[in-house]
């Protein structure tokens, strides 16, 4: 019998939840291993030290980064694909997944460490999972270290007091975009979940668990809260992709509007600042100044989106270009003017 995949992750990690839910939906045999002190020696050599870490059945080492892992699984397991069959929808799926992984995670991180009640909750959750059975003194020290470390990173990733109104408005608009549509058996690209659904799920599950955003989500988006619970294990879902060539569903159109308003202007400003060697990137979002340190990884994200758009067949590009333009996305993505 072939050994199952071995997934090491953490329940407070949005990306761990994303990949675990994807494995469950695809009915891929795997063993879930919480990242506790008991497994640290096993994974000490893995670079970078991020979760989730996935070991393939025939391999001895672990791979990291949820998006490449999802695509590696897509290439190996044909059944129950999470990438829409229509190439234009596959690109939109890529764009929304990237938005969830790189922008919605700022919303998650902001709420988790900005408010005292959430930081209290998170530090205990993280430490108690990683060090089960720690005595009171060790637990208190670990929690204080975790809180100081994470809050010390807030300015680096843009989760500052100055940026807080932008981030919280973006969260409210995200809930408004999804609540009317993602409920019951509905998903972004049909009656089956896509990689974009799983990426949103990973971040939103954290926001539906941490105290302050949980209260907001339950008040503003109660049906979305139920959808998140269903997404945790969608192994019983049977469904189809939406009709090829169809106009964007309302949820997709609303999400593209958020991508064009918040995420792509941030990515473009980040790329300009990185390439100019600047220590700070700044951009006007929602009528306010948003600033943080530029990141190389997000330069790669923008490049990957542009390459994916340019790699579409001409018909698919021309079909979705008006949708992207309406949402304010096209200029940043179509840097070479290939849609013309």
Whether residue 1 has pLDDT greater than 70: no
Residue 12 has pLDDT above 70, yes or no: yes
pTM: 0.97
Which domains, and CATH codes, for the chain?
5-76 (3.40.30.10), 87-111+159-333 (no CATH), 117-152 (no CATH)
CB atoms within 10 A of CB 306: 18
How many alpha carbons lie under 13 Å from residue 88 in its C-beta half-sphere?
20
Q: How far is CA 37 from the centre of its chain?
A: 26
Mean pLDDT, range 290-312, rounded to an integer: 98
Q: What is the pLDDT of residue 323?
A: 96
pLDDT class of 67 with cuts at 50, 70, 90: very high
| Residues 72-86 pLDDT 10s | 999 999 899 999 999
Percent of the chain with pLDDT over 70: 99
Q: What is the mean pLDDT of residues 150-166?
A: 98
How large a percentage of the chain has pLDDT more than 90? 94
Instruction: Look at residue 268 and tell me whether its pLDDT is greater than 80.
Output: yes
Tens digits of residue pLDDT in 90-119: 999 999 999 999 999 999 999 999 999 999
Confidence of residue 185 (pLDDT cuts 50, 70, 90): low
User: Token match 């079909």: residue?
Assistant: 319
b/e sequence 86-112, b meaning 16+ C-beta within 10 Å: bbbbbbbbbbbbbbbbbbbbbbbbbbb
* Average pLDDT over the chain, rounded to an integer: 96
Q: Can you tell me the distance from the alpha carbon of 137 to that of 115, in angstroms, rounded to the nearest whole number?
A: 24
- pLDDT band at 183; cut points 50, 70, 90: confident
Output the pLDDT for position 184. 62
Inform me whether the pLDDT recorded for 162 exceeds 80.
yes
């Amino acid at each position: 019998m072939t050994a199952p995949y071995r997934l090491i992750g953490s329940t407070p990690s949005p990306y761990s939840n994303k990949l675990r839910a994807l494995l469950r939906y695809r009915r891929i045999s795997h063993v879930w291993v919480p990242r506790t002190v008991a497994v640290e020696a096993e994974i000490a050599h893995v670079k970078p030290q991020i979760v989730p870490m996935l070991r393939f059945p025939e391999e001895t080492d672990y791979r990291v980064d949820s998006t490449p892992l999802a695509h590696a699984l897509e290439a190996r397991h044909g059944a129950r694909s999470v990438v829409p069959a229509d190439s234009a929808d596959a690109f939109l799926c890529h764009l929304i997944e990237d938005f969830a992984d790189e922008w919605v995670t700022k919303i998650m991180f902001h709420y988790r460490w900005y408010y005292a009640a959430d930081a209290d909750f998170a530090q205990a959750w993280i430490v108690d999972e990683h060090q089960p059975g720690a005595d009171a003194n060790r637990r208190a020290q670990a929690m204080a270290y975790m809180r100081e470390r994470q809050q010390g990173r807030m300015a680096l990733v843009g989760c500052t007091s100055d940026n807080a109104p932008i981030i919280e408005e973006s969260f409210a608009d995200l809930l408004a975009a999804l609540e009317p549509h993602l409920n019951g058996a509905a998903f972004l690209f049909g009656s089956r979940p896509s990689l974009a659904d799983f990426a949103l799920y990973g971040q939103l599950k954290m926001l539906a668990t941490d105290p302050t955003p949980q209260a907001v989500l339950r008040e503003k988006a109660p049906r979305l809260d139920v959808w998140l619970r269903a997404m945790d294990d969608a192994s019983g879902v049977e469904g189809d992709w939406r009709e090829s060539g169809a106009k964007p569903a309302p949820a997709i159109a609303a999400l593209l509007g958020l991508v064009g308003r918040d995420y792509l202007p941030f990515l473009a400003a980040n790329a300009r600042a990185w390439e100019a060697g600047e220590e700070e990137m700044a951009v006007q979002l929602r009528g306010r100044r948003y600033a943080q340190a530029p990141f190389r990884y997000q330069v790669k994200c923008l490049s990957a989106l542009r390459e994916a758009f340019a790699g579409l067949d001409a018909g698919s590009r021309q079909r979705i270009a008006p949708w992207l333009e309406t949402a304010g996305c096209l200029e940043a993505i179509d840097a070479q003017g290939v849609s013309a």
